[in-house]
């Protein structure tokens, strides 16, 4: 019992209520441990991995993992931590994103011991009467105690009624699934607590909730988020994962080690930061791919960034004849767009202005510069390189 509790508490921010958890563990009955994700984007990322690793620990102790894909709630969008109403997703967007989730979680969890469920299977069947009864079990005043709703209300920012419904639906998921434990980020605390309250209203024992710390994204400021684009996805190519890891700050690297690995942090802090980051990159690429790909990703990174060589698998980009002038030249701006290294002319000019563009190793200073593209190496930043051809 003490060993199980020690494992469960490691890395967790809060357990509510720990005494209840101890009683549940003493029952020696496999517990139903719930974790959910709305398919708001096709990728599960390292921020999710913080909670998924905790699920894995429960799974290894013999408990039942319930991975809930919020295909119904995803059409509303979780308002947690939001200062404005989320854009509602379409059925097709939710369906497309949800398809990728099962393969991704099974990079960590055992598929034979994991139950995957979609909340549309029960929420879409709720009648209006059912929904009204559910909403009657909590008050507007209590809802406005929630930090993000309170801030928006005081700032006179609109709060749509459907956003009030989201926490109720997440709570009802726990009722339907008879969850013993629910795991989520600290930003989910209100929703998780509401799940306890609604379970009691339906005559169930309230779930124990375990909140996990939020992981900052690549910007080092905001929570890792699909919508902010500051994330590392678990299905990204090995070189992308390794390269992104190498771009994080030294301080953030330590937090990644703490939340995503079982490494001895004292030993990590004694390492040179560059070597520690390479170790982290190898661990994560191995976790999602394999050791050979991790070692290749590291060797390619070192080749390009340490020895200034070109990667073995450099991507070629064909410049169409229509983009060339009568002399066979092209502007750097057009070349960036044609090679898919910039999303637009404005984006290309911004990259050049930031000093991040080079041709054959020579930094581009003038956005209007022209050159003959065939065989040239066009590079943006440290990781995006293409060989041009016509």
pLDDT above 70 for 312: no
Residues 279, 144 share a domain: no
Residues 251, 158 share a domain: no
Residue 223 in domain: no
Residue 329: which CATH number?
Answer: 3.10.290.10
Residues 192, 48 share a domain: yes
Q: Mind listing the pLDDT tens digit for each residue in 215-236? A: 998 888 888 887 777 889 888 8
Residue 104 in domain: yes
pLDDT of residue 286: 94
Residue 102 in domain: yes
Residue 320's domain comprises: 315-389
Residue 232 in domain: no
State mean pLDDT over 257-279.
Answer: 92
pLDDT above 60 for 78: no
Do strands 330-331 and 370-371 pair parallel, antiparallel, or not at all (unpaired)? antiparallel
Residue 229 in domain: no
pLDDT of residue 311: 64
Q: Bigger pLDDT: 247 or 204?
A: 204
- Give me the residue label for tokens 């947690």: 80
Using 50, 70 and 90 to split pLDDT, how confident is the model at 294?
A: very high
pLDDT of residue 291: 92
Residues 199, 60 share a domain: yes
* Of 100-109, 164-173, 306-315, the least confident: 306-315
In the sheet that holds 181-185, the strands lie side by side as: 14-16, 208-212, 181-185, 32-37, 64-69, 114-118
State mean pLDDT over 293-316.
Answer: 77
Residues 184, 86 share a domain: yes
Rounded CA gap, 173 and 220, in Å?
33
Q: Mind listing the pLDDT tens digit for each residue in 4-42? A: 898 899 889 999 989 999 999 998 899 999 999 887 777
Reduced to 3 DSSP states, what percent helix, strand and coil does the chain have, rounded to the nearest 5? 50, 15, 40
pLDDT of residue 343: 83
Using 50, 70 and 90 to split pLDDT, how confident is the model at 82?
A: very low
Rounded CA gap, 347 and 233, in Å?
24
For the chain, how many structural domains are there in total? Answer: 3
Residue 230 in domain: no
pLDDT of residue 213: 93
Residue 222 in domain: no
Residues 282, 136 share a domain: no
pLDDT above 90 for 68: yes
Residues 56, 87 share a domain: yes
Q: Which of 81, 89, 82, 107 is nearest to 40 (CA)?
A: 89
* Of 142-146, 191-195, 275-279, 304-308, the least confident: 304-308
Residues 206, 321 share a domain: no
Using 50, 70 and 90 to split pLDDT, how confident is the model at 125?
A: very high
Residues 208, 67 share a domain: yes
Residues 247, 371 share a domain: no
Rounded CA gap, 315 and 387, in Å?
6
Average confidence score pLDDT of the chain = 86
Rounded CA gap, 40 and 110, in Å?
24
Residue 10: which CATH number?
Answer: 3.40.50.620
Residues 320, 177 share a domain: no
Using 50, 70 and 90 to split pLDDT, how confident is the model at 101?
A: confident
Residue 233 in domain: no
Residues 377, 270 share a domain: no
**Token pair of 18 as six digits:** 């720990």
């Amino acid at each position: 019992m003490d060993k199980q509790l020690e494992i469960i508490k490691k890395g967790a921010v809060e357990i509510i209520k720990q005494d209840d958890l101890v009683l549940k563990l003493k029952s020696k009955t496999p517990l139903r441990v719930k974790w959910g994700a709305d398919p708001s984007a096709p990728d599960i990322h390292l921020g999710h991995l913080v909670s998924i690793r905790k699920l894995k620990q429960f799974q290894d102790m013999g408990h039942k993992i319930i991975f809930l894909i919020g295909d119904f709630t995803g059409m509303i969008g979780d308002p947690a931590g939001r200062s404005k109403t989320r854009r509602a997703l379409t059925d097709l967007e939710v369906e497309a994103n949800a398809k990728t989730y099962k393969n991704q979680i099974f990079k960590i969890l055992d598929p034979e011991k994991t139950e995957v469920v979609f909340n549309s299977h029960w929420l879409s069947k709720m009648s209006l009467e059912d929904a009204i009864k559910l909403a009657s079990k909590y008050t507007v005043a209590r809802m406005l105690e929630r930090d993000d709703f309170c801030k928006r209300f005081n700032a006179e920012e609109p709060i749509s009624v459907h956003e009030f419904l989201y926490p109720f639906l997440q709570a009802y998921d726990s009722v339907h699934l008879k969850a013993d434990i629910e795991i989520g980020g600290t930003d989910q605390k209100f929703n998780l607590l509401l799940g306890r309250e609604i379970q009691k209203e339906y005559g169930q024992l309230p779930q124990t909730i375990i909140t996990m710390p939020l992981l900052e994204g690549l910007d080092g400021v905001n929570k890792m988020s699909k919508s902010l684009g500051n994330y590392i996805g678990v299905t990204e190519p090995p070189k992308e994962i390794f390269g992104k890891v190498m771009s994080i700050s030294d301080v953030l690297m330590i937090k990644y080690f703490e939340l995503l690995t079982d490494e001895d942090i004292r030993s990590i802090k004694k390492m040179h930061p560059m070597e520690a980051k390479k170790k982290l990159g190898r661990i994560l690429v191995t976790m999602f791919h394999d050791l050979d790909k991790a070692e290749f990703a590291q060797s390619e990174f070192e080749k390009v960034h340490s020895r200034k060589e070109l990667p073995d698998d450099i991507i070629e980009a064909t410049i169409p004849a229509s983009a060339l002038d009568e002399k066979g030249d092209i502007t750097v701006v057009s070349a960036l767009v044609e090679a898919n290294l910039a999303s637009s002319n404005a984006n290309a000019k911004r990259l050049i202005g930031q000093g991040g563009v080079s041709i054959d190793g020579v930094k581009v200073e003038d956005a209007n510069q022209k050159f003959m593209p065939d065989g040239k190496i066009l590079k943006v930043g440290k990781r995006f390189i293409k060989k041009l051809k016509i």
